[in-house]
Amino acid sequence: MNRFLKRGIILLIAGIAFNIVGYVMKDRGLDHYGWPMVAGTVLFGLGFLFAFYSLFRKVEAQGLIEERAEEKERKARFDKEARKRKHAWMH
């Protein structure tokens, strides 16, 4: 679990908690219940973005690993062919 996913989960939970506090305040007839609800919605949104970014980074990193492996394989094939040609030319 990377830092972005951890932060995302924490922000998601905090956003849900703030929204619950806002609904409880609204049910009890307290004023200014909208502020915790707004904060909860913003925190929830940020948490979702962090979690999504974590997933995006993971997919991108996997793509880079695969790309580097393919490049290494192509280079190995090229070197092998070059040695084969050099060896055949010398004989």
Helices (H), ranges, the chain: 3-27, 34-90
Indicate whether 77 pLDDT > 70. Answer: yes
User: pLDDT tens across 15-30, in order?
Assistant: 999 999 999 999 999 9
Is the pLDDT reported for residue 90 higher than 80?
no
* 43 in Cβ contact with 18 (< 8 Å): yes
Q: Find the mean pLDDT for residues 75-86.
A: 81
Examine the pLDDT at 79 and tell me if it is beyond 70. yes
Instruction: Work out the pLDDT band at 46, boundaries 50, 70, 90.
Output: very high
- What burial class does residue 46 get, using C-beta atoms within 10 Å of its C-beta: 0-12 exposed, 13-18 middle, 19+ buried? middle
Tell if the pTM clears 0.85, that is, is over it. Answer: no
Question: Do the Cβ atoms of 53 and 7 come closer than 8 Å?
Answer: no
Place of tokens 């506090």: 21
Query: What dihedral angle (degrees, nearest 10) is formed by the CA atoms of 55, 59, 65, 71?
Result: -160
* 62-73 tens-digit pLDDT: 888 999 989 989
Token pair belonging to 90: 């010398």
